[in-house]
Amino acid sequence: MEALNVSCFPSFHSSLISARNPRNKFENPICHIPPILQKNWSSPRTRGWRADFKIFSSVSSALGVSSTEEILDFSAPGQEVETERQGEKFDWYAHWYPLMPICDLDKRRPHGKKVIGIDVVIWWDRNENAWKVFDDTCPHRLAPLSEGRIDQWGRLQCVYHGWCFSGSGDCSFIPQAPRDGPPIHTSKKACAATYPSCVQNGILWFWPNSDPQFKDISSEKKPHYIPELDDPSFTNTMIARDIPYGSCSICALWYHENCEDACKISYCTEFFNYLLEFDMANNEVLSCTLKADREGGRPLEISIEKLDINGFISNQLFGDNFFVPPCLFYGYFSPGGSPKTTSTSSTGNKDEPVSSVKPQRKALLIFYCIPVSPGNSRLIFASPRNFGVWIDKVIPRWIFHIGQNLILDSDLYLLHLEERKIRDVGSTNWHKSCYVPTKSDILVVSFRRWLNKYGGTQVDWRGKYTGLLPPTPAREQLFDRYWSHTVICSSCSLAHKSLNALKIALQIISFTTIAIFATTKQNMASVVARNTMVSVAVLCFLGSKWLSHFIYRTFRYHDYDHAFR
DSSP string, 376-411: EEEEEEE--BSSSHHHHHHS-HHHHHHHHHHHHHHH
The percentage of the chain sitting over the pLDDT mark of 90, rounded to a whole number, equals 43
Q: Which of 83-87, 375-379, 420-424, 461-465 has the weakest average pLDDT?
A: 83-87
Please say if the pLDDT value at position 115 is more than 70.
yes
Q: Which one, of 372, 381, 369, lies nearest residue 208 by Cα?
A: 372
Tell me the pLDDT band of 517, cut-offs 50, 70 and 90. confident
Tell me the pLDDT band of 359, cut-offs 50, 70 and 90. low
Which tens digit of pLDDT belongs to each residue from 416-461?
A: 888 888 888 887 787 778 888 888 788 888 888 888 889 888 889 9
SS3 427: coil
Tell me the pLDDT band of 114, cut-offs 50, 70 and 90. very high
Cβ neighbours of residue 498 closer than 8 Å, sequence gap 6 or more: none
Please say if the pLDDT value at position 523 is more than 50.
yes
Tell me the pLDDT band of 349, cut-offs 50, 70 and 90. very low
Report the mean per-residue pLDDT for the chain: 76
Give the per-residue pLDDT at 56. 35
For residues 139 and 122, give the distance between their C-alpha atoms in angstroms, rounded to a whole number.
17
Give the per-residue pLDDT at 355. 41
Tell me the pLDDT band of 255, cut-offs 50, 70 and 90. very low
For residues 172 and 184, give the distance between their C-alpha atoms in angstroms, rounded to a whole number.
10
Q: Which one, of 539, 553, 383, 488, lies nearest residue 122 by Cα?
A: 488
CA atoms within 13 A on the CB side of 150: 17
For residues 387 and 16, give the distance between their C-alpha atoms in angstroms, rounded to a whole number.
14
- 321's enclosing H/E stretch is strand 319-324
Please say if the pLDDT value at position 113 is more than 90.
yes
169 conformational bin, left if phi > 0, alpha if psi -120 to 50, beta if neither: left
For residues 119 and 137, give the distance between their C-alpha atoms in angstroms, rounded to a whole number.
8
The percentage of the chain sitting over the pLDDT mark of 70, rounded to a whole number, equals 70
Total-model pTM: 0.77
Please say if the pLDDT value at position 21 is more than 50.
no
CA atoms within 13 A on the CB side of 16: 19
Quickly count: other Cβ atoms within 10 Å of residue 384's Cβ: 25
Which tens digit of pLDDT belongs to each residue from 383-420?
A: 999 988 999 889 999 999 999 999 889 888 888 888 88
Q: Which one, of 89, 58, 81, 117, lies nearest residue 308 by Cα?
A: 89
With 0-12 / 13-18 / 19 or more C-beta atoms within 10 angstroms meaning exposed / middle / buried, residue 195 is: buried
Give the per-residue pLDDT at 562. 80
SS3 181: coil
Which tens digit of pLDDT belongs to each residue from 146-161?
A: 999 999 999 999 999 9
How would you classify the pairing of strands 111-115 and 350-355?
unpaired
Buried residues in 3-26 as b, exposed as e (16+ CB within 10 A): bbbbbbbbbbbbbbbbbeebeeee
How would you classify the pairing of strands 149-150 and 156-157?
antiparallel
Give the per-residue pLDDT at 335. 67
- 490's enclosing H/E stretch is helix 490-519
For residues 385 and 250, give the distance between their C-alpha atoms in angstroms, rounded to a whole number.
33
Please say if the pLDDT value at position 273 is more than 80.
no
Average confidence (pLDDT) over 240-249: 74
Give the per-residue pLDDT at 415. 85
Give the per-residue pLDDT at 360. 78
Which tens digit of pLDDT belongs to each residue from 303-339?
A: 888 899 999 988 876 678 899 999 999 988 776 554 4
Please say if the pLDDT value at position 276 is more than 70.
no
Q: DSSP assignment, residue 475?
A: H
Please say if the pLDDT value at position 501 is more than 90.
yes
For residues 307 and 302, give the distance between their C-alpha atoms in angstroms, rounded to a whole number.
14
Quickly count: other Cβ atoms within 10 Å of residue 186's Cβ: 11
Q: 131 and 142 in contact (C-beta within 8 Å)?
A: no
Average confidence (pLDDT) over 355-365: 67
Tell me the pLDDT band of 13, cut-offs 50, 70 and 90. very low
Please say if the pLDDT value at position 52 is more than 60.
no
For residues 445 and 72, give the distance between their C-alpha atoms in angstroms, rounded to a whole number.
8
Q: 235 and 296 in contact (C-beta within 8 Å)?
A: no
SS3 3: helix
SS3 465: coil
Tell me the pLDDT band of 247, cut-offs 50, 70 and 90. very low
Please say if the pLDDT value at position 366 is more than 50.
yes
Cβ neighbours of residue 491 closer than 8 Å, sequence gap 6 or more: 103, 396, 397, 398, 401
For residues 144 and 192, give the distance between their C-alpha atoms in angstroms, rounded to a whole number.
11
For residues 179 and 534, give the distance between their C-alpha atoms in angstroms, rounded to a whole number.
69
